[in-house]
Amino acid sequence: MIVGTRREARAAWLFLAPALAVYVGFALLPILAAAGLSLSSWNQGQARPAWLGLGNYSEAFADGVFWKAVLNNLLLAALSVAVQLPIALALAAALAGPLRGRWLFRTTYFAPMVLPTVVIAFFWRFFLLDPADGLANAALRAVGAGGADWLGDPKLAFGAVFSAVSWKYVGFHMVILLAGVLAIPAGLYEAAELDGAGAWGRFRHVTLPGVAPVLGVCALLAVIGSLKYFDLVYVMTKGGPDHATELGATWIYAVGVDGRRVGYGSALAIVLLVVSLLAAWVVMRLRRGVQPTGGAA
């Protein structure tokens, strides 16, 4: 019995070894390297890092732009959960029913997820939101409402970027939630209908409790994704105007790569990692605290 258990353990480790090697090589070791560099001063012109201690972290906690960027990350995470997930759940519930051509709708909604992020950024920046020739301003001018500088106005830029992010990720969450909706036993809906529940009652008392665990997974993915977002925002605005769309990753790139301050950029990356872990922990705690309630009504 013990021999069999040891063989199973060895087989399990052999199967896990490739994934563990990738994780160690591309996640754990870079984190440790960044932690080491964060304690040094390595700027443009220096041949090698020089020991600095916690000086980079002291500067990081006094960096107003970085903390504004972190707040933008947290706002993006909150809006992703509050806006993207309800839309994705509504689409999933609609596409789980007997809708003609639903395969076409599913493909259409998921299509932005498989497009390269740079393509999406250019599409939104130049085709939709360009102040001179963009489709959004053309539609506004057609109804006599004038135009707007969507990515050049600090009051509008963040909303414009969030719209592009949502367009990309709503379909992703929809597919995950659709799998959760389809996994709910049909008998629960039949029982609810026999009890006199209408469409809203079935959704509230059957669909919502049934997909609650999946919603928790989507919320966790949305929060973690929002805290590490970079490419689409960088291509669209590079964090501007006036840092209105600055995110932690874009500011780290501006300081560590463009500014050639590798040590300080590494310290900012470690701080952002800690913030991300805390946010993920909060979401996990909330998932455990929310128990599915209700049933057939």
Task: Provide the residue ranges of all domains of the chain, joining segments of one domain with +.
Answer: 59-289
Q: Which residue has the higher pLDDT, 44 or 68?
A: 68
117-125 LR contacts (CB < 8 Å, sep 24+): 117/168, 117/231, 117/232, 117/235, 118/231, 118/235, 120/164, 120/167, 120/168, 120/232, 121/164, 121/231, 121/232, 121/235, 121/236, 122/235, 124/160, 124/163, 124/164, 124/167, 124/236, 125/151, 125/235, 125/236
How far is residue 84's CA from residue 175's CA, in Å, rounded to a whole number? 13
Cα–Cα distance measured from residue 211 to residue 193, given in angstroms and rounded to the nearest whole number = 19
| 62-71, 124-133, 134-143, 284-293: the lowest-pLDDT one | 284-293
Torsion of CA 272, 276, 281, 283, to 10 degrees: 140
Mean per-residue pLDDT of the chain: 89
pLDDT of residue 297: 34
Question: Could you tell me the CA-to-CA distances from 162 to 87, 166, 168, 290 in Å, in that order?
Answer: 14, 6, 10, 27
Higher pLDDT, residue 266 or 107: 266
- The pLDDT tens digits for 252-286 are 999 999 988 999 999 999 999 999 999 999 998 88
How does residue 291 score in pLDDT terms, banded at 50, 70 and 90? low
Cα torsion angle, 156, 158, 161, 162, sign: negative
Predicted model pTM: 0.88
CA diameter of the chain? 80
For the domain spanning 59-289, the CATH number is: 1.10.3720.10
Residue 245 contacts residue 237 (beta carbons within 8 Å): yes
Residue 248: predicted pLDDT: 96
Instruction: Report yes or no: 226 and 116 within 8 Å, Cβ to Cβ.
Output: no
CA 177 to chain centre: 16
Q: Is the pLDDT of residue 2 over 90?
A: no
Tell me the percentage of the chain whose pLDDT exceeds 90.
67
Q: What percent of the chain has pLDDT over 70?
A: 95
The pLDDT tens digits of the residues spanning 214-251 come to 999 999 999 999 998 999 999 999 999 999 999 999 99
Whether the per-residue pLDDT at 289 is higher than 80: the answer is no
